[in-house]
Amino acid sequence: MNHFYCQMPNRGRVRVGGNDATRFLQDLVTGDIEAASETRAVYSCLLTAQGRFLHDFFVTKQGDDYVLECEGGARTEDLTTRLKRYKLRSAVTLDCEPAITIYAGTGPVPVGNCTDPRHGDMGWRGPTAPTNDTPADFSRWDDHRIRLCIPDGSRDLVPEQSLLMENNMDLLHGVSFTKGCFVGQEITARMYHRNLGKKLLMALSFPTTPPAAGTLIADDAGEIGEMRSSCGMIGLALIKRDAVDRIRALKIETLSEI
């Protein structure tokens, strides 16, 4: 594979500091943040108490602080607001930066960046651009991501609706079932251990331009699934497990499912 990198659009970060920062985050988010370091990112999510998706982010450490690289703009502000609701009397500081520069790519990891923990072919991400390469258009990264069937935050997971076990998050190392409790853990663990998910995130190839995100995919027998993000002629869709075999009748080809 030819290596490439690009600048990621719409990224922000929340810095979490203070004496209680580790316990504060560990009790809230889905990933085992004690594994995070300055050179190792932990992929994680914040859920509702009912186990529904709110935010995803990459957790690293800078000194004694934790840095949550997340979706930018209003999404960064919303994540900060939601974390503050849990702060109570904890010795925790929360600093919001709604706009930061993040690069992602494949090949050797530039100093200051981390390997993307979600998939072995997702390369690296971080604030440092390679010094001798020209950045590719974001669509190159988006195409690569979709072919690996990897969701991209709220482009693919609907806040307060999506369930992690229907969107590959366990397979993308976004959930730890060994670290102990987190918000939404009971429902998430039940779905994982009992395989209760009724839907499946899949990467699909379309004969024409894919439908817009949120568009229902259906045939004469009824609903098959719902469109998520797309790039060119490929895209992700959340498909009913009992309707997977009906996709090809619509001349839609399956690229991958994790």
* pLDDT tens-place string over residues 90-107: 999 999 999 999 999 999
Contact 57, 69 (CB under 8 A): yes
Q: Would you say residue 49 has pLDDT above 70?
A: yes
pLDDT band at residue 257, thresholds of 50, 70 and 90? low
Contact 53, 67 (CB under 8 A): no
Domain ranges (residues) in the chain: 5-138, 198-256
Three-class DSSP category at 97: strand
Q: Topology of domain 198-256, per CATH?
A: Elongation Factor Tu (Ef-tu); domain 3 (2.40.30)
Within a 13 Å sphere around the CA of 27, how many CA atoms are in the beta-carbon half? 9
Pairing verdict, β 93-105 and 216-219: unpaired
The closest alpha carbon to 39, from 96, 135, 120, 124, belongs to 124
d(CA 7, CA 128): 10
Three-class DSSP category at 111: coil
DSSP string across 170-189 = TTTT---SSS---TTHHHHH
pLDDT band at residue 125, thresholds of 50, 70 and 90? very high
Superfamily of the domain at 5-138: Probable tRNA modification gtpase trme; domain 1 (3.30.1360.120)
pLDDT band at residue 59, thresholds of 50, 70 and 90? very high
pTM of the predicted model as reported, rounded to 2 decimal places: 0.95
Stronger pLDDT, 196 or 226, i.e. the higher one: 226
CA 43 to chain centre: 8
